[in-house]
Amino acid sequence: MFSTQRLDASLGLRQEKLQKLLQYVQECCADGRAVDIGEAAFVTCLNFISNTLFSVDFADYNTDSSQELKEIVHGFMRVLGSPNLGDYFGFLGLFDPQGIKRDSEFYMGKLLAIFDGIIDKRVEASRNSQARKTDLLEVLLEISGGNQAELTRKDMKHLLLVL
């Protein structure tokens, strides 16, 4: 999925996402609105990644549609970047005094639920249509659909979480 040829083939997608970013900035300039560069970069990167994995835009520049996912990502980054006393003092790891394990499980659960919904929609759409997408999720579904499937739905969700 991430071979050189596949990445080269996604040049059009990258250009399209960059073009949408430029169009958004031009609209803001024409309307005299300030551009939140962090938000614009987040939406652009999120949409590029989500299109590569799922062939779907997760966010839009002019709405707060990405707010929930942004909060999940920021929460996950905060938790993963926090020093954990349990790492330095092994006996504290059992008690999770800072709640790092609890918080990371919370954010991971939210992301896995989002992925579960996307997988459900794709499976339902593939039953009703012959058209196939050329994204990572389609490849994973094809692998898991075989008689000797070694890739379970849980494996797919966790692989997507890592990516």
**For position 2, what pLDDT does the model report?**
61
Last residue of a domain, one of 65, 89, 114: 65
- Same domain as 139, residue 104: yes
Asked whether the predicted pLDDT for residue 1 surpasses 60, the reply is: no
pLDDT tens-digit readout, 62-121 = 877 678 888 898 898 899 899 988 888 888 888 989 999 999 999 999 999 999 999 999
pLDDT of res. 37: 93
Q: What is the pLDDT of residue 139?
A: 83
> Considering 65, 88, 108, which residue would you say is the last residue of a domain?
65
Q: Pull the structure tokens for residue 151.
A: 């890739």
Which domain-ending residue is among 65, 98, 113? 65
Q: Which of 9-18, 40-49, 53-62, 125-134 has the lowest mean pLDDT?
A: 125-134
pTM for the whole structure: 0.78
- Tally the domains of the chain: 2
Burial of 155 (0-12, 13-18, 19+ CB in 10 A): middle
Tell me, yes or no, whether 14 and 45 share the same domain: yes
Q: Which domain holds residue 39?
A: 1-65
- Residue 147 pLDDT exceeds 70: no
Task: Give which of 146, 136, 162 is closest to 1, Cα–Cα.
Answer: 136
If asked whether residues 43 and 61 sit together in one domain, one would say yes
